[in-house]
Amino acid sequence: MKKFQLLFVLSFFIFAAFKADKPAYFLFNKDGKRVKYSKMLKAVEDADIVLFGELHNNPVSHWLQLELTKNLFELKGEKLVLGAEMFESDNQLILNEYLDSLISQKSFETEVRLWPNYKTDYKPLVEFANKNSLRFIATNVPRRYASLVNVKGFEGLEQLSDEAKSFIPPLPIRYDGELNCYKSMLEMEGIGSHRSENFPKAQAIKDASMAYFILKNWSAGQLFLHFQGAYHSDNFESIYWHLKQQNPDLKIVTITTVSQGDVSELTEENSEKANFTICVDEDMTSTR
């Protein structure tokens, strides 16, 4: 009997140890110190703009995006504004019509250019905005104009009609090719024939557009929570840089997502990318 009890106790502690050693993620501040979610929530509560950088196929990113949205709504109410890279500026009308209950969910999802993982990852955010009468801003440049820049540079945008130009930032586009987020794109492996001086500019028009439509739809006293791929805000460049160019006094908090084999501490490569870093186990299942 005693032997059985001993085996039972040992089994319990072994199981508990395995369970304790398998966290899905840890949260770190800019200095690489592990912090609690409540610490991050406190920091973002007082921000003007929060740039939430995700890994597009990571379920932990998307879960925390929704949780942060819910918590900030409790704190800010109608002063909370949502926006996302995943919706292009020329789809704002359709998005508004859905949020204003003028068109059905089916019509909305049929006519808007949705990402493949919309239903699992972004629909909960849109539906939360819909349920709570929050504004949701389509901030990204229409992809056809990013393609135009990739071929003709920023000069190609000058050829657009006045109506088309309403979907992009005012010209000329601010650009610093020495920023690492753009400079490094020319050094990426596997770019092939696409590696031209216009390639990072096509990325820059996305960043500039998202920054422009964020500020266009933000006013003092509001909190704009924006969702984008981590590359669009890492290292306080990209969207962050464009926002600061237009308004240096903005209080911006950045969040990024990384994956590692060991999530207990950040690697040097993943350190200091943002004000807060979500470090997720690299074996986490993908949402697409």
pLDDT of residue 153: 97
Residue 81, helix vs strand vs coil: strand
Q: What is the pLDDT of residues 102-159, one digit of tens each?
A: 999 999 999 999 999 999 999 999 999 999 999 999 999 999 999 999 999 999 999 9
Report the distance separating Cα 91 and Cα 167, nearest Å. 9
Q: 247, 215 in Cβ contact below 8 A?
A: yes
DSSP 264: S
Q: Which residues pair with 280 in a beta bridge?
A: 25, 259
pLDDT of residue 120: 95
The token duo for 8 is 């039972």
pLDDT of residue 13: 43
Report the distance separating Cα 127 and Cα 258, nearest Å. 27
Contacts of 64 (CB under 8 A, 6+ apart): 37, 278
Report the distance separating Cα 11 and Cα 152, nearest Å. 66
Contacts of 113 (CB under 8 A, 6+ apart): 88, 91, 143
Q: What is the pLDDT of residues 17-40, one digit of tens each?
A: 445 567 889 999 999 999 999 999
CATH of segment(s) 23-281: 3.40.50.11550
Report the distance separating Cα 269 and Cα 207, nearest Å. 23
Q: Give the long-range contacts of residues 236-239, CB within 8 A, separation 24 or more.
A: 236/274, 237/179, 237/180, 237/181, 238/179, 238/181, 238/203, 238/207, 239/51, 239/207, 239/210, 239/211, 239/214
pTM of the predicted model as reported, rounded to 2 decimal places: 0.90
The token duo for 255 is 């969040």
pLDDT of residue 1: 52
CA 10 to chain centre: 44
Q: 218, 135 in Cβ contact below 8 A?
A: no
Closest Cα partner for 224 from 137, 284, 285?
A: 137
- Pairing type for strands 25-29 and 34-35 reads antiparallel
* pLDDT at 91 exceeding the cut of 90: yes
Q: What is the pLDDT of residues 221-258, one digit of tens each?
A: 999 999 999 999 999 999 999 999 999 999 999 999 99
The token duo for 253 is 């908090």
Which residue is listed with tokens 């290292």? 235
pLDDT of residue 196: 85
- Tell me the pLDDT band of 190, cut-offs 50, 70 and 90: low
